[in-house]
Amino acid sequence: MRTPPSFIHAIEFSAFGEWMRSNVLAMPWVNAAHVLCVILVFGTILVVDLRLLGLLDRHRSVTRTADELLHLTWAAFAGAAISGALFFSANATTYWFNTAFRFKMLAIVLAGLNMAVFQFVTYRGVARWDRNEPPPRAAQLAAGLSILLWVTVLVLGRLIGFTKGFDVAVPDNIDFDFGAP
């Protein structure tokens, strides 16, 4: 218990991790980039989701809204993943054991699965309901789930910052006995 797997140790002691920890400007700038990318991911997904729910941009087709915004979503997601990975490398052991971080990763995976199911099942027939008002139930369900999961990601992301400093668990492999010869 409390001893991370060797690959986590390797990430923490990688050149990226050392650079993030020792460069005075690395953390604030990577942090700013991460926040900006996350805002773009959530903002663009939210617009598409609200369109799928029939609450926004109802005069525009679903495909036009999605086509205009989702390339920005993917670019921002790549930026968020890279900046997030840099953050992780700086403090990998702590993040590895942090419950909020684990649930955040789970929420991202679930959001991805939800998006995949929508893309490969519901969206395949979009030509039939591209301009329909309201969109089909399956599209509305995917959009509602998407908003719920991405809000969860945001909330958990903030919780990490408030919880990761308070883990006082002791690794098993520390020998506190200094009396032995």
Partner 1 sequence: MSKNKLMLKTIGSAAALIVGLAASPLLHAHHSFAAYDMTKTQILTGVVTRVNPDANHLQIFFAPMNTDRKNVERDKDGKPVIWAVEMAGSAAAAQDGISVSTFQPGTVFSVGVHPQRSGDPSGFREGPLFKCPVGANGKATPPKPGEHCDAVEGRTAFGQGTLPTPTK
Residues near partner 1 (CB under 8 A):
12-13, 18, 21-29, 31-32, 90-91, 93-94, 164-165, 167-171, 173-179
Residue (18 or 68) nearer to partner 1, CB: 18
Least distance in Å: CB of 16 to partner 1?
Answer: 13
Least distance in Å: CB of 1 to partner 1?
Answer: 13
Q: Residue 156: which of 106, 101, 79 has the closest Cα?
A: 101
| SS3 sequence of the chain | CCCCCHHHHHHHCCHHHHHHHHCCCHHHHHHHHHHHHHHHHHHHHHHHHHHHCCCCCCCCCHHHHHHHHHHHHHHHHHHHHHHHHHHHHHCHHHHHHCHHHHHHHHHHHHHHHHHHHHHHHHHHHHHHHCCCCCCCHHHHHHHHHHHHHHHHHHHHHHHHHHHCCCCCCCCCCCCCCCCCC
Residue (8 or 143) nearer to partner 1, CB: 8
Residue (137 or 170) nearer to partner 1, CB: 170
Least distance in Å: CB of 97 to partner 1?
Answer: 9
Residue (29 or 74) nearer to partner 1, CB: 29
Least distance in Å: CB of 153 to partner 1?
Answer: 20
Least distance in Å: CB of 68 to partner 1?
Answer: 23
Residue (28 or 134) nearer to partner 1, CB: 28
